[in-house]
Amino acid sequence: MRLFSLLEKAYGPLQWQPRLDPVSELVFTILSQHTSDLNAERCYRQLLTRFANWETVAQAQVAEIEGAIRSGGLARQKASRISNVLRLILDRRGSFDLSFLAGMPLSEAKAWLRQFPGVGPKTAAVVLAFSLGMPAMPVDTHVFRVSKRLGLLDLKTSVEAAHDLLESLIPPRRVYPFHVYLITHGRRVCKAPRPRCDMCILASLCPSLRSFLPQLPNPGRRIPPKG
C-alpha cells in the first residue's frame, strides 16, 4: 500500500511493544472513554493507589470505585462497567489472565471481549492490539477522520464497521504501525476541522484534497510538521 510506505517514511518504522497486561489495558481503556489520555492515566493511578490489585477492585462496592476515579468524568458509569467486567472475567475464567485470547482467531477474541457490557469494538481492539500484539485496528476519532478523507472508508461507514474494514485493507503485520501512523498524521497534519493539506505527504493520493484546497495548483509531497 502506497499510503503505508509514505507514512512509514515520514514517521519512521515501528515495532510493537507490549504496554499493559490485557485486564489492565481493558480497565485503562474503559477509563479513557470520553476523556483525554491524561485524565485516564491519572484515574488509573488513583485506582491502583486506592486498591491493591484487580481482585480487590472486583470485590469493592461500585461507589468505592467511583470515588477513586471521580476526576475522570462519567465516574459512576465507568465504575459500574469496571466492576461488572472484572467480576464477570473472574467468574468465567477463575483469574484475570487473558493471555489465552492470543491463541484465538481475531474475530473470536473480539467477540469474547465484547460480550461484556461497556466493551465495544474500539475497546476490544485496543486490548488485543496493545496487550497481545494481535492485528486489531482500534478506530479512534483521528483514524476515522483520516481514513474517510483518504477514501479508505465510504463516507457512510459507521465507526463500528470501520474496525473490520480497515483491518482487511492491510497485511496483519502492518496493522499496528498503520494505526499509530494514522493517529500521528491526524494529530499533526490531517486535523479537524482544517487539515494542513499544503504540508501533507499524502496530498497527491488524497481524494479529499480539492475539498480543502480548491486553489492548490499542483500539490506535492512534503514533510509533515513536527508537533
CATH topology agreement for domains 2-12+139-212 and 22-132: no
Tell me how far apart the alpha carbons of residues 57 and 79 are, in angstroms, rounded to a whole number.
10
Specify the pLDDT at position 71.
84
Tell me how far apart the alpha carbons of residues 47 and 55 are, in angstroms, rounded to a whole number.
12
Tell me how far apart the alpha carbons of residues 101 and 26 are, in angstroms, rounded to a whole number.
13
Specify the pLDDT at position 213.
73
Residues contacting 194, CB < 8 A, separation 6+: 212
Q: What is the DSSP letter of 94?
A: S
Q: What is the DSSP letter of 52?
A: S
pLDDT digits (tens, 9 = 90+) for 150-185: 999 999 999 999 999 999 999 999 999 999 999 999
- Which listed residue (78, 110, 122, 226) is catalytic? 122
Q: How confident is the model at residue 210 (pLDDT cuts 50, 70, 90)?
A: confident
pLDDT of residue 97 exceeding 80: yes
Q: Which residue do the cell numbers 481503556 mark? A: 29
Provide the residue ranges of all domains of the chain, joining segments of one domain with +: 2-12+139-212, 22-132
pLDDT of residue 224 exceeding 80: no
Q: What is the DSSP letter of 117?
A: T
Residue 122 appears among annotated catalytic residues: yes
Specify the pLDDT at position 215.
47
- Name the residue among 65, 61, 122, 118 with its Cα closest to residue 89: 118
Specify the pLDDT at position 117.
93
Q: Which fold has domain 2-12+139-212?
A: Endonuclease Iii, domain 2 (1.10.1670)
CATH number of 22-132: 1.10.340.30
